[in-house]
């Protein structure tokens, strides 16, 4: 069974684009929540992300992963693929 991946983004955010590119290159399907200027959606995201208000915020199987640097660090350490399996 594939992991459930969710990512909160802004449409013009370069870090969001970079994180989505990593997921796409790995062939991962994900649900994207584009929250441009939507404070209500940002508040909901922040509650899930332990107060994190920057984008992207990434979740794998409801586990908060963090942002762009965090997901790339997991990949570099060889820890991302097991989470996605």
DSSP 29-71: --EEEE-TT-HHHHHHHHHHTTT--SS-EEEETTEEEESHHHH
Q: How confident is the model at residue 2 (pLDDT cuts 50, 70, 90)?
A: confident
Site of tokens 């994207």:
32
30-69 residue pLDDT tens? 999 999 999 999 999 999 999 999 999 999 999 999 999 9
pLDDT at 1 exceeding the cut of 90: no
What is the CATH classification number for the domain harbouring 72?
3.40.30.10
Q: Compute φ and ψ for 64, nearest 5 degrees.
A: -70, 120
pLDDT at 28 exceeding the cut of 90: yes
Domain that holds residue 49: 5-84
Q: What pLDDT sits at residue 24? A: 97
* Domain count within the chain: 1
Which has the closest alpha carbon to 25: 75, 70, 59, 63? 75
Q: What pLDDT sits at residue 65? A: 97
Single pTM value for the model: 0.95
């Amino acid at each position: 069974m594939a992991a459930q991946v969710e990512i909160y983004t802004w449409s013009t955010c370069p870090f969001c684009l970079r994180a989505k590119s990593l997921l796409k290159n790995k062939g991962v399907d994900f649900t994207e929540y584009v929250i441009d200027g939507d404070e209500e959606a940002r508040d909901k995201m922040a509650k899930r992300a332990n107060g994190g208000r920057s984008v992207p915020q990434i979740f794998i199987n409801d586990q908060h992963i963090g942002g762009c640097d965090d997901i790339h660090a997991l990949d570099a350490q060889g820890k991302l693929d097991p989470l996605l399996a």
